[in-house]
Chains A and B, each alone.
Chain A
């Protein structure tokens, strides 16, 4: 399924400690238009729970969480 997701924006937050990846995402999302698809790359397991919680709070959509060899890719659609 993820093979079909082509992000418009990729945020590389690999190796950033919590809450770095979430903060990177929040900082970027503020600047993006509705409909933009974002890939957040993170090596923090907590991001796989913290980010979906924030998306729920802020009203954006989680499209997919994909586990890669050395990181997670979270796909988000900005509303």
Chain B
């Protein structure tokens, strides 16, 4: 019996489990392979939905579905929390004291929000990176009629690197639709010397910000928020007043990863092409928890899952794995409430940003709906 364990029921883990169920169909039916997907959350969450919640275009319930409806019946779905990984003995320990051995292990545990890493941020800032944050921001935005709205990218790297630019362009457009834009000043801040990590997106966003009267502040690294006086203080010595702060909070990997010796900072150190952990045998990482030089984006998890499915299936059959990941990343970017653009790139490549259009906006909404087919491994 060849035992495959996947930890994490987000995009990467779910797509991988379903891909492997197909690729190893005959081995699973013959009882030669055991495939287990472990997740602490009985719901699968499609996080890009949260971007639309503050504008009343989606609800947090739209973002989730029971994971047992998405996972192939040949996968042994375990709802539980892994608390320890022993890579020498190839065993996982669970919170309920049970233990599971593995021959091949994939970590797909994602990224965690860590607003408390910056003093004052949890009290002073809003975000749209989780269900409660997105709902709170929706309520706040509904009553925000005038003042200074600051979108501050506090933590890098973070999930969906395009989302802060998207939110800024969307909120500008949304406020115009509401007739409130003239009474709201908008500022976007980013930690480095341009508006985004990728230069082509930074150039594109900078031009649009100028057209739409959005102030851009760069080299802006938040040190502390003073929620009482509504002031942001930076490492560079700047102070910025706000009335409504929408912040991308710092993100953290997983203590599980640190404790297992798979990555000092909580992200798993992997070979960027094979996605195999550098510190342990028979361990892979995909999605946000994998430390690879590209975006923490759902499409990355999706493409990585395909590669790892091929590699794991080859090993389970006793053949040499050949599939590799080239860094492929695909993102739709909203440029307002009814137009979007689209980019794709691989490791070391600079994406080309197309002219935003309504068809691309509708394509993005269409993809969001068909995402559930992606999770099932069908797209």
Contacts and interface: CB of A to CB of B under 8 A. Distances in A.
Interface of A: 15-20, 22-23, 26, 29-30, 50, 53-54, 57-59
Contacts of B221: 26, 30, 58
B219 A58 contact: yes
A30 B237 CA distance: 12
Interface stretch (B13-21, B62-70, B189-197): B189-197
B192 A22 contact: yes
B293 interface: yes
B235 to A, nearest CB: 6
Given A19-B156, A20-B293, A58 B236 contact: yes
Q: Is the interface of B mostly helix, strand, loop or mixed?
A: loop
Contacts of B237: 58-59
A54 B192 contact: yes
A19 B219 contact: no
Interface residues of B, number: 17
Contacts of B191: 19, 22-23, 26
Given A15-B272, A18-B197, A54-B192, A26 B235 contact: yes
A23 B372 CA distance: 34
A18 B199 CA distance: 10
A58 B197 contact: no
Contacts of A57: 219, 236
Interface string B213-244: 00000010101000000000001110000000
Contacts of A18: 197
A20 B347 CA distance: 14
A49 B123 CA distance: 36
Contacts of A50: 192-193
Contacts of B157: 20, 23
B236 to A, nearest CB: 5
Given A17-B347, A58-B236, A58-B237, 6 more contacts: A16-B293, A17-B348, A18-B197, A23-B156, A53-B219, A57-B236
